[in-house]
């Protein structure tokens, strides 16, 4: 009898612990205030610029990619974001020697919002801004792949900076990482994890966005979705936070099809988050799936679903906001 009582007490304790952990810890109204600074108009304006012919398909090491890097740097400066490298240096250069033969040196573009309570704990938000350039007279604008993720990062960065300006900045630090050379084999992220700006062990999580502006065939009838990949692979808590935040703020259909073990497309291994996961840093990969314009010159800005892009960007923002402001650092338990 005594044992039963003790067991009951232990069970109750465990259940209440879990219930406590399964709550959003940051005030919803503050998060919403800054999420609402992420607007369809700004996402659209920036996407039309980056995916325009003037950027020549943003091929790694080529003039179009350099122009995109400058655009990102200017956008960060205009929004008041600092660089974590040096006051006016937003570029992390990847030497030619690190890249496959024939590709010129290129650069990741970085911006930073310092945490108020745990500045050494870093949450990385990433998207690659390079694409596959031109073939003959065809320009591969890469509107979905991955101008969509790139403009999402800019808007999220601006939202965090606005919060910081108003004294409501995140407890943990946010690193905004615009990666190059993804299309050549994830070289931008490979270089970053080999040459991190902060010790790798201080990286709490990586939320990586690669294609969030379109709808794939499987969701034509019900487009309010996004594929999540990796969320439960290293941290149970990360998966829980992601689910809770979505229920509270967005209610998108989170599709885990591509997260399944032995999934034949192997998307978990195919974008930049994988270089973080390899280093035991919990990741979520946000992805709309492939579509008829994937890696074609027809992946253009007019085909983006901007309403959906806005909702998905807000999902990533809210997830980052919660991770950055929770009382304790995300636990890696797998």
- Provide the binding-site residues for Zn ion, judged by CB under 5 A: 145-146, 210
For Zn ion, the closer CB: 82 or 127: 127
Residue whose entry in the numeric block shows the structure tokens 């999934």: 263
Taken in order 11, 231, 308, 320, the sign of the CA dihedral is positive
Q: Which two tokens stand for residue 134?
A: 């031109």
For Zn ion, the closer CB: 132 or 163: 132
For Zn ion, the closer CB: 159 or 304: 304
For Zn ion, the closer CB: 145 or 237: 145
For Zn ion, the closer CB: 237 or 299: 299
Please, what is the minimum distance in Å from the beta carbon of residue 189 to Zn ion? 12
Please, what is the minimum distance in Å from the beta carbon of residue 238 to Zn ion? 22
Q: How far is CA 198 from the centre of its chain?
A: 18
Nearest-angstrom CA–CA distance, 331 and 282: 9
Please, what is the minimum distance in Å from the beta carbon of residue 210 to Zn ion? 4
For Zn ion, the closer CB: 35 or 181: 181
Please, what is the minimum distance in Å from the beta carbon of residue 83 to Zn ion? 24
Please, what is the minimum distance in Å from the beta carbon of residue 142 to Zn ion? 8
C-beta atoms surrounding 255 within 10 Å: 18
Please, what is the minimum distance in Å from the beta carbon of residue 91 to Zn ion? 20
Please, what is the minimum distance in Å from the beta carbon of residue 108 to Zn ion? 15
Please, what is the minimum distance in Å from the beta carbon of residue 270 to Zn ion? 9
Please, what is the minimum distance in Å from the beta carbon of residue 30 to Zn ion? 32
The reply to whether omega before 242 is within 30° of 0 (cis) is no
Burial class (CB in 10 A: 0-12, 13-18, 19+), 116: middle
For Zn ion, the closer CB: 229 or 324: 229
For Zn ion, the closer CB: 145 or 216: 145
For Zn ion, the closer CB: 121 or 146: 146
């Amino acid at each position: 009898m005594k044992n039963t009582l003790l067991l009951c007490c232990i069970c109750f304790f465990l259940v209440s612990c879990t219930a406590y952990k399964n709550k959003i810890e940051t005030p919803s109204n503050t998060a919403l205030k800054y999420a609402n600074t992420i607007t369809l108009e700004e996402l659209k304006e920036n996407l039309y610029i980056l995916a325009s012919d003037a950027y020549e398909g943003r091929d790694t090491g080529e003039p179009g990619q350099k122009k995109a890097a400058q655009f990102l740097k200017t956008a960060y400066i205009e929004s008041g974001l600092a660089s974590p490298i040096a006051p006016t240096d937003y570029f992390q250069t990847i030497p030619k020697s690190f890249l496959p033969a024939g590709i010129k040196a290129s650069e990741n573009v970085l911006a930073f919002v310092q945490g108020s309570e745990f500045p050494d704990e870093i949450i990385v938000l990433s998207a690659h801004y390079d694409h596959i350039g031109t073939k003959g007279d065809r320009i591969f604008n890469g509107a979905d792949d991955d101008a969509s993720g790139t403009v999402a990062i800019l808007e999220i960065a601006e939202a965090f900076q606005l919060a910081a300006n108003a004294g409501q900045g995140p407890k943990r630090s946010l690193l905004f990482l615009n990666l190059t050379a993804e299309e050549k084999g994830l070289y931008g992220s490979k270089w970053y994890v080999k040459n991190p700006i902060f010790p790798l062990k201080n990286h709490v999580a990586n939320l990586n966005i690669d294609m969030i502006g379109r709808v794939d065939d499987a969701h034509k009838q019900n487009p309010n979705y996004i594929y999540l990949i990796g969320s439960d692979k290293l941290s149970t808590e990360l998966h829980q936070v992601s689910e809770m935040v979505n229920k509270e703020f967005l209610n998108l259909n989170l599709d885990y099809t591509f997260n399944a073990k032995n999934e034949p497309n192997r998307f978990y291994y195919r974008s930049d988050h994988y270089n973080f996961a390899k280093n035991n840093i919990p990741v979520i990969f946000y992805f709309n799936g492939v579509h008829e314009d994937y890696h074609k010159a027809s992946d253009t800005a007019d085909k983006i679903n901007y309403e959906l892009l806005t909702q998905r960007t807000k999902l990533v923002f809210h997830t980052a906001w919660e991770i950055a402001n929770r009382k304790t650092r995300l636990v890696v338990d797998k």
